[in-house]
Structure 1
Amino acid sequence: MSHFSDRLKEERKRLGIIQTDAAKAAGIGYTTYYSYEKGERTPNVETLQKWHEAGFDVLYLVTGIRNGAALSNADSSLLADLNQVDEKGRVLVRGLLDTYKRLS
Structure 2
Amino acid sequence: MSEMLDVGNRLRDERKRLGLNQEEFALAGGVTRRAQTTYESGRRVPDARYLSAVARLGVDVQYVLTGARAVAVESNLSPDERALLDNYRHSHREDQAALRRMGLAMSKPTPSKRNGTTGGE
**How does the TM-score come out when normalised to structure 1?**
0.70
Report the counterpart of residue 49 of structure 1 in structure 2.
52
Query: Are 1:85 and 2:104 matched, yes or no?
Result: yes
Provide the rounded CA distance (Å) in 2 between the counterparts of 1:14 and 1:38. Answer: 17
For residue 29 of structure 1, the aligned residue among 20, 28, 32 is 32
Report the counterpart of residue 16 of structure 1 in structure 2.
19
Percent sequence identity over aligned pairs:
30
The answer to whether the Cα contact below 8 Å between 1:19 and 1:33 also exists between their aligned partners in 2 is yes
Q: Secondary structure at the match of 2:52?
A: helix
Provide the rounded CA distance (Å) in 1 between the counterparts of 2:55 and 2:63. Answer: 11
Report the counterpart of residue 39 of structure 1 in structure 2.
42
Greater displacement, 62-71 / 9-18? 62-71
Report the counterpart of residue 64 of structure 1 in structure 2.
67
Provide the rounded CA distance (Å) in 2 between the counterparts of 1:36 and 1:84. Answer: 27
Q: Deviations over 1:44-94 (max 9, x none)?
A: 10110001111101010011001122558x83866x8259724xx336xxx
Which has the greater radius of gyration?
A: 2
Q: Please, which runs of 5 or more residues in structure 1 have no aligned partner?
A: 92-104
Q: Secondary structure at the match of 2:104?
A: coil
Whichever structure has more helix as a proportion of its residues is 1
The answer to whether the Cα contact below 8 Å between 1:25 and 1:84 also exists between their aligned partners in 2 is no
The RMSD of aligned alpha carbons is: 3.1
How many correspondences in the alignment? 88
Letter in 2 for 1:13: K
Q: Please, which runs of 5 or more residues in structure 2 have no aligned partner?
A: 75-81, 90-95, 109-121
